[in-house]
Amino acid sequence: MKKKAFLIIGVTVILAVIVFLIVYILNNKADKQSEAICAIPPESALIIEINYPLDFINSTKEEIGIFYDLSGILDFSCNNSLLHYIDTLDACKYIESSDVNKNIIWSFHPDGGGKFNQLLVVNIPEEVKQEKVADEFKVKLEESGKISNRDFQGVKLYEFKSTGQMPGLHFYVKNGLLVVSTSQKLVEESVESLMSTKSVKDISKEFADIYSTAGKKEIANIYVNMSLFPDTFLKYLSDQANESFALLKSFSYWAELDLSFDEQKLSLNGFSGMADSIPVYSKVLNSQISTNLKCAQVLPDNTSYYFAMAFNNTEAFRQSLAEYNEHIGQKQLNIDKYSEIKESTGLDINTTFYSLIDNEVCYAVTTPGAHDKYENSYMIFGLKSQASAEMELDNIIQGIKLNTGISESELKDKIRIDENTSLDVYILPFEGLPELLFGHYFNKCSVKYVCCVNNFMIFANSKNSLFKIVYDVVLHKTLETSIYYNLFLENFSESSNLFIYFSMFNGMDIFKNLFNEQTRSAISSNEDVFYSFGNFGYQINQSNEMLYNNLVIKQQKYTIEKPQTIWESRLDTTVAAKPALVINHDNSSKEILVQDYNNNLYLLSNSGR
């Protein structure tokens, strides 16, 4: 009997212990943890993965440095920034209290008509119970409105309706993630992405490939979907710019950019992929070998903007450009233009001009014209031989003269720099050559006037524009001799497949001209801040099956008013003594004698030569 009683007691104790352990384990079971990226729907235009959320948010508040200035222009507030809205609700406190770094993902999704919705995913540390997060978040919101909830695919969705000025919110907590948006539809899409493994990382191989390349030690990683991202800013652009920027959708597919910044410089660098089935323009770039671009030798130091790319494999370039033009619906239009030029002039522009090019082509804009901002725009390409190029231009002119009956005086001219220096100018009786040869990114230059200088062929819209650039080249007033420009280039590698440069100081009018009237007004109100951004550079280089991007914005303090001078010239070094005025006995003109600290003696005419 006693044995039976002991057995019953023993079994009871064991069962009690088992029940206790089960209850304990269930109560202390860790919530399932998913990556924040798993909650991001595939139709994302822009994804910002913030690896150090508190540092990122604080950098937008600290009144110093380039990142703060950019944040000020964007005017972050609870009404336009979901990240800042959630920060006011203390949603980041769970990250702050964790010993393990946890990220936040902030994504932007097009909603038609140039609008977009935002989604925020906060990665909750494992030691924090997600029920606690949901309850505390509800309590915080209930101070300003009402909360309701409903079930959606097994997940409890909450809706906050504000009784004041705060925007409404939709949110849920699942798999160690707090997911928030002002859009009910976007939150539901997020649930589907998370629960059915249909996130952007699951659906898009191209995104998954570049996601694996991100540097997680940087403050943030930015993922740009070029097929959707332009839609987020097109509504701010002028009608003319809107048409051009819409074609950015066909520049590449996904790109990943690691964000880093200090007080004066902001950098974004990382890889972009190219979908095998989509002939994007980046494939045109990738068809060439990265090279040392030298067009700065003939670009004036007042250049507002230039776009230069490697050109060293003609057949690969022609084939990839033809595929790209077909993709954007431009191929037949170009074929018609080629045929029209050949029929009227006898000139095969592809065969003729491609054969002259060595290494690079460039589109540039210097100071804006009074009536046309792109009046002083140029197409430039390196030459295998300047002498051969000039002979070919003479042959072109003779052929056009024979085929059209246009007199040689209408097809050739000269520009004079001074009494001793002049250059031949060739005048083409058709327009649109740059776009036909290199694509729509070169469409702002009609290029009827052509000359050769310093082993480059330069095309301009007018004789006066051509004179301006040649004059600066002859006087060595070029970007190559600019101290500021060369210091800026230290942020980039020597070789490029593509290099884009923009000077805010020289190009403010062109920059403002890109936007609609309302946006231009806002820029004018912050003009000093925009001027302080100084220089922008964007470089692309080949890297295996991807392209490596490096984008830099560097602040620079400028004097807005330039000194008025009668003449200017570049010397090898600083002037050593006061210049002397002398008389040229050959023509009785006044000239300037000056010596530099290298003991070089210069006799300068009134043109600065």
Using CA atoms in the order 553, 559, 564, 569, what is the torsion angle rounded to 10 degrees?
Answer: -50
Q: What pLDDT score does 463 carry?
A: 93
Q: What pLDDT score does 589 carry?
A: 56
pTM exceeding the 0.75 threshold for the entire prediction: yes
Q: What pLDDT score does 560 carry?
A: 47
Contact 83, 120 (CB under 8 A): yes
Burial annotation 295-314 (CB, 10 A radius, 16+ → b, else e): bbbbbbbbbbbbbbbbbbee
Hey, which bits of 211-253 come out as E strands? Answer: 220-225
Evaluate if residue 352 carries a pLDDT over 90: yes
Evaluate if residue 361 carries a pLDDT over 70: yes
For the record, the structure tokens of 107 come out as 């994504």
Mean pLDDT of all residues in 573-601: 60
Q: Give Rg (Cα) of the chain.
A: 31
pLDDT in tens, 151-198: 999 999 999 998 877 888 999 999 989 999 999 999 999 999 999 888
Q: What pLDDT score does 26 carry?
A: 45
Q: What pLDDT score does 497 carry?
A: 96
Evaluate if residue 11 carries a pLDDT over 60: no
H helices, E strands: number in the chain = 21, 23
pLDDT in tens, 447-480: 789 999 999 999 999 999 999 999 999 999 999 9
What is the DSSP code string of 316-343?
Answer: HHHHHHHHHHHHTT-HHHHHHHHHHHHH
Own/partner contacts of 292-296, CB < 8 Å, gap of 24 or more, are: 292/494, 292/495, 292/496, 293/359, 293/360, 293/362, 293/495, 293/496, 293/499, 294/359, 294/360, 294/382, 295/360, 295/362, 295/364, 295/380, 295/382, 295/456, 296/478, 296/479, 296/480, 296/485
Cα–Cα–Cα angle for 310, 479, 535, rounded to 5 degrees: 85
pLDDT in tens, 251-289: 888 999 999 988 889 999 999 987 666 778 888 999 999
Contact 199, 42 (CB under 8 A): yes
Evaluate if residue 1 carries a pLDDT over 70: no
Contact 582, 593 (CB under 8 A): yes
For the record, the structure tokens of 202 come out as 């699951």
Q: Which residue has the higher pLDDT, 452 or 12?
A: 452
Q: What pLDDT score does 23 carry?
A: 45
| Nearest alpha-carbon partner for 48 in 111, 95, 96, 118 | 118
Report the run of H or E that residue 17 belongs to, with start and end: helix 2-27
Report the run of H or E that residue 358 belongs to, with start and end: strand 357-365
Q: What pLDDT score does 252 carry?
A: 81
pLDDT in tens, 110-158: 887 668 899 999 888 777 787 888 888 888 888 888 999 999 999 999 9
Q: What is the torsional sign of CA 10, 11, 15, 21? A: positive
Evaluate if residue 87 carries a pLDDT over 70: yes
Mean pLDDT of all residues in 43-66: 85
Q: What pLDDT score does 457 carry?
A: 97
**Residue 561: band (very low, low, confident or very high) from pLDDT cuts 50, 70, 90:** very low
**Residue 44: band (very low, low, confident or very high) from pLDDT cuts 50, 70, 90:** very high
pLDDT in tens, 532-543: 888 999 999 998
Q: Tokens 């010596």 — which residue?
A: 595
Contact 538, 561 (CB under 8 A): no
Mean pLDDT of all residues in 218-232: 89
Mean residue pLDDT of the chain comes to 84
**Residue type at position 485:** Y
**Residue 80: band (very low, low, confident or very high) from pLDDT cuts 50, 70, 90:** confident
The percentage of residues in the chain with a pLDDT greater than 70, rounded to a whole number, is 82
Quote the distance between the C-alpha of residue 537 and its chain's center.
8
pLDDT in tens, 508-527: 999 998 899 988 888 898 88
Q: What is the torsional sign of CA 324, 328, 334, 336? A: positive
Q: What pLDDT score does 281 carry?
A: 87
Packing angle of the helix pair 331-345, 314-327 (nearest 10 deg): 120
Question: Beta partners for 257?
Answer: 222
pLDDT in tens, 390-432: 999 999 999 999 998 999 999 999 999 887 888 999 999 988 8
CA distances from 316 to 150, 354, 472, 548, 596 (A): 57, 12, 35, 20, 49
